[in-house]
Chain A
């Protein structure tokens, strides 16, 4: 299908160009807003420092230059993949973030697996038997998942499973194994034990979402003609659900899943802080506290890029799931 392939390639190129525009606009906005706030020198140096030491520190950080010059330097560096050095750690901001990213990815993926693995079956069940007692229970739990603040849930999980029952460790990442130069904790028993509570706490909101979407989708599809027909033909319920009904509920689920993956990567901040998880969320909170501007800007740019990338993958996945979806220019 050469025509389809060209269309997809054109689509990808178009999206990537849009991405570059978004990133430049983002960079400008973030840079200006972050650079307009406060004075990082105050956060870094000794409060008793003399005026001369202050000026020296400002020069070292390049803060004595006018804003436009700082931005020009930043953009010139960014174009070559250099987002500046962390004021605090004095290593490239991007390196610092990439060093912490695996911990966040691990947590996010684990949370998403829990959300999908528990949420979708539960949602399907609730959709098939809407008035059964277990369906009502599932739906009540999903309301709680939505409405309780995540820091509170996180603390309650710690209080129950770590403090009262003593089954799981309360905080930290536990033992790690280095694979290809990256530390992973899900490969050790101790690491897995440390992963359970933060992943569960992070998964509650997307899980609630998955339950609701799967249930709504299932109820809708279950009443359509083709499903009725399949059931009338005498196909086994498993086959009807798995082959005919469920795949047709997937489009909205995949869309939401993509969005959720992005917002979990960027939004695991609270969970990371409460569980002392050494990921990028905690890094950026600490960086905001000390006004480590290059790290804040790099974090924003990386999370935005991840967001865009994930959405691109989601858009491409539509075609796999639903052959009717094409990639022509929307205006036609």
Chain B
């Protein structure tokens, strides 16, 4: 009732104050993550990609399940193991009316990796391109150094800009909006850092014209404030709904909540190396530094893994807003093992394993996490600590801000930590390569391997996958490696986070695993 009253008042006021006729066709979204730049190549950062996705297109686009779909390229084929040919979409125009051609693609791939001063460059996505050849205005060939199966996946992150407007344009030109000319569903109207982004529909969009004439993305970083803005009718939709508010919003007849799994896996990492003992975070049952690392024994790691009741963590700690998992990718991603059972917690079996490994009295651990990144991180580690203590592994909990946590974790000072990983490519290789391959600077692998895991078998599979173009073979290899690491128990996964949007009545949003909020995926319902 109250809400309707407020909507009516707002509508009456809006009608009195503005002359815009089509108020019903506008969409305002309260977004949690503020972008740092609207130069689509400046800073490789989620919130920036989210804005760019409204204005620009890439050769391929990712659907809600993060699988590759045609974008500015209608099709592509691997001509020989090191050559890819892309057929570009014909009849596409930029926002200024100029036609989109292969020249724009070539220009984009030249500019993207080389934007001056970039805090996190896009070069990782274009590193596969050795040579680019324009065959005709709507056909390009890309040569790679060796077979490069992830090429299209990586290029789907590089937003195609107009050569005409982009040539010589600096990040400042983009920030002023002059150079922000794309082929995407919306045109940029204005960007006010820290406040809002205003967009206007592109009536010539190749993917069909959007139902929303004007879109405003308002940056509201505080969760309660986003909810209040939705309740007040100031915005039509919000993203990243605080988990504590989900049930309440669901009960509101005037609102709808849209939920789905994310690509973010929450896990515990165990350092099995002997060097881990010097941190003092692993102690024997009397609190002294033991002579060998108990985590070096696979039975001990299995015991710790089996002691964790993931259902309790998903249903109680996260109030049902998380999904129990023991695999390294969510369902639907390449590398997911279809028939693999979800273990149930078994404290008795865990205790037996500890006794078998020679730790009938258990030992002591310190489990560490950051308290400002993962939803319910503190409550989850407290629950895990209790579950471990129950099987005899007395566990202390230590939490700290992420900015303090990450250098200590990266410096291998935390042999038992709780963290998360968002899978950006939709393939298990994005988990195995950075997190579980042996740390290897020259090969560029294991960059995020913080528990010093090293298994030659896994290393060799990961390296083979890097050069395997055949998708079925890749899938088989990735599943094989996944099973090995799952049963090595050094990185037991706990839950998959879920992600939530809330809209006013009459709107529909298809939840995206990559957690992006795109106005062009919001649809009116009758």
Contacts and interface: CB of A to CB of B under 8 A. Distances in A.
B51 to A, nearest CB: 14
Interface in A130-170: 155, 158-159, 162-167, 169-170
A213 to B, nearest CB: 32
A50 B440 CA distance: 9
B403 A170 contact: no
A44 B43 CA distance: 9
A87 B234 contact: no
Contact of B196 (A60, A100, A172, A286): A172
A172 B195 contact: yes
B221 A163 contact: no
Contacts of A15: none
Nearest to B431: A48
Interface residues on B, range: 35 or more
B229 interface: yes
A262 to B, nearest CB: 22
A57 B424 contact: no
B2 A163 contact: yes
Interface string A261-295: 00000000000011110100011001011010000
A71 B228 CA distance: 43
A329 interface: no
A98 interface: no
A173 B234 CA distance: 12
Interface stretch (A35-43, A240-248, A317-325): A35-43
A53 B448 contact: no
A85 B36 CA distance: 14
Contacts of A52: 441, 444
A190 interface: yes
Nearest to B222: A273
Contacts, number: 166
A305 interface: no
A130 B451 CA distance: 69
Interface in B16-72: 17, 30, 34, 36-37, 42-44
Contacts of A289: 372, 403
B17 A190 contact: yes
A165 B447 contact: no
Contacts of B225: 155, 158, 170-171, 273-276
A166 B5 contact: yes
Nearest to B6: A166
B251 interface: no
Interface stretch (B116-124, B318-326, B336-344): B116-124
A47 B448 contact: yes
B117 A155 contact: no
Contacts of B195: 172-173, 276, 278
A72 to B, nearest CB: 22
A159 B231 CA distance: 9
Contacts of A89: 36-37, 193
B119 A44 contact: yes
A47 B224 CA distance: 28
B193 A99 contact: yes
A49 B229 contact: no
A48 B192 contact: no
A268 B124 CA distance: 40
Interface string A42-68: 111111111111100100110000000
B197 to A, nearest CB: 12
A99 B175 CA distance: 14
A288 B410 CA distance: 20
Given A46-B124, A50-B447, A100 B194 contact: yes
B211 interface: no
A42 B407 contact: yes
Contacts of B123: 53
Contacts of A47: 421-422, 434, 448
Given A89-B36, A164-B2, A273-B222, A50 B234 contact: no
B377 interface: no
B171 interface: yes
Given A38-B403, A44-B120, A172-B196, A166 B9 contact: yes
A286 to B, nearest CB: 7
B407 A38 contact: yes
A40 B410 CA distance: 13
B280 interface: no
B242 interface: no
Interface in B239-289: none
A88 interface: yes
Contacts of A54: 447
B483 interface: no
A286 B403 CA distance: 12
A181 to B, nearest CB: 13
A178 to B, nearest CB: 11
Nearest to A48: B434
Interface in B195-226: 195-196, 218-222, 224-225
B234 A169 contact: yes
Nearest to A39: B407
A189 interface: yes
A182 B439 CA distance: 50
Contacts of A85: 117
Task: Specify which of A38, A45, A54, A90 lies most central, judged by the most chain B CB atoms within 10 Å of its CB.
Answer: A90
B7 interface: yes
Interface in B336-388: 372
Contacts of A278: 192-195, 219
Nearest to A276: B220
A100 B219 CA distance: 15
A170 B232 contact: yes
B6 A50 contact: no
B233 interface: yes
B161 interface: no
Interface in B478-497: none
Interface in B400-434: 401-404, 406-407, 410, 421-422, 424, 430, 433-434
A289 B34 CA distance: 12
A57 B119 contact: yes
Contact of A171 (B2, B43, B229, B424): B229
B234 A171 contact: yes
Given A39-B410, A170-B234, A189-B17, A162 B6 contact: yes
A205 B310 CA distance: 46
A49 B447 contact: yes
Contacts of B7: 166
Contacts of B6: 162-166
Contacts of B124: 46, 48-49, 53
Contact of A46 (B44, B224, B234, B406): B44
B445 interface: yes
A100 B195 CA distance: 10
Given A158-B225, A164-B2, A166-B6, 15 more contacts: A44-B120, A48-B124, A53-B447, A85-B117, A90-B119, A165-B6, A166-B3, A166-B232, A171-B220, A172-B218, A172-B220, A273-B222, A274-B222, A283-B194, A288-B403
15 contacts: A38-B407, A44-B120, A48-B430, A50-B445, A158-B225, A158-B228, A162-B228, A163-B6, A170-B229, A170-B232, A171-B229, A172-B195, A273-B221, A282-B194, A289-B403
Interface of B: 2-3, 5-10, 17, 30, 34, 36-37, 42-44, 117-120, 123-124, 171, 192-196, 218-222, 224-225, 228-229, 231-234, 372, 401-404, 406-407, 410, 421-422, 424, 430, 433-434, 439, 441, 444-445, 447-448
Q: Sorted from nearest, which 7 A-B pairs have the closest CB atoms?
A: A166-B6, A38-B403, A278-B194, A50-B444, A162-B232, A39-B407, A278-B195
